[in-house]
A and B are shown apart, each in its own frame.
Chain A
Amino acid sequence: MLNLLNTLASICIIIGLFFMVVAAIGLVRFPDFYSRAHACGKCDTLGEGMMLLGFILYEGASLVSVKLLLLIIFIFVTSPTALHAIMHFAYTSGVKPWKKGDARE
């Protein structure tokens, strides 16, 4: 039983790690500001959620798990909001979007 839970936790942590690495690679590779926001806004949120879910499975039922669950809910609410604030600033200050065929920045 404990072994199964630990295996599940490892799988969750590895999936989350994959998404966080993808977010960093997208931040470097994508051509313009808005596409970079796609990469780090989505993949970072899910990657962090999956990793914390893995820690919950590893820890079992305790006060630490409740705290981790609160952290997951907090991140799923605030991460898109922060991203939206940055994108709104960029949109109103006139950052140009990249069109297909343009040169990379």
Chain B
Amino acid sequence: MIDIFHASATILMLTVFLCLYRVLAGPGVGNRLIAVNTIGTKTVVLLVLIGFIYERPLFLDISIVYAMINFIATLAIAKYLGRGHIC
């Protein structure tokens, strides 16, 4: 079971690099923002995986907070780019 966790963590890291290519190359802000959002969702799963591999349930709380920050940051950046102000 722990082998599967290690393997999936490695594959997730590789997919993060694929998304990073889109962040660097993607024309325009929209492509970059979507790629960053995707990296965020992958990071949430990676944090849960790290928690299970090292048997530290605390990482689960970190992943919940990271999911919230990812959502709110994406919303705030999209709103700022669309309107020029957030509030």
Contacts and interface: CB of A to CB of B under 8 A. Distances in A.
Q: Do chains A and B touch in the complex (CB under 8 A)?
A: yes
Interface of A: 6, 9-10, 13-14, 16-17, 20-21, 23-25, 27-28, 33, 36-37, 40, 44-45, 48, 51-52, 55, 58-59, 64, 67-68, 70-71, 74-75, 78-79, 81-83, 85-90, 92-93, 95, 105
Interface of B: 1, 4, 8, 11-12, 15-16, 18-19, 21-22, 27-28, 30-31, 33-35, 37-38, 41-42, 44-45, 48, 52, 57, 60-61, 63-64, 67-68, 70-71, 74-75, 78-79, 81-82
B78 A71 contact: no
B interface, over-half SS: helix
Given A78-B71, A85-B74, A95 B44 contact: no
B19 A27 contact: yes
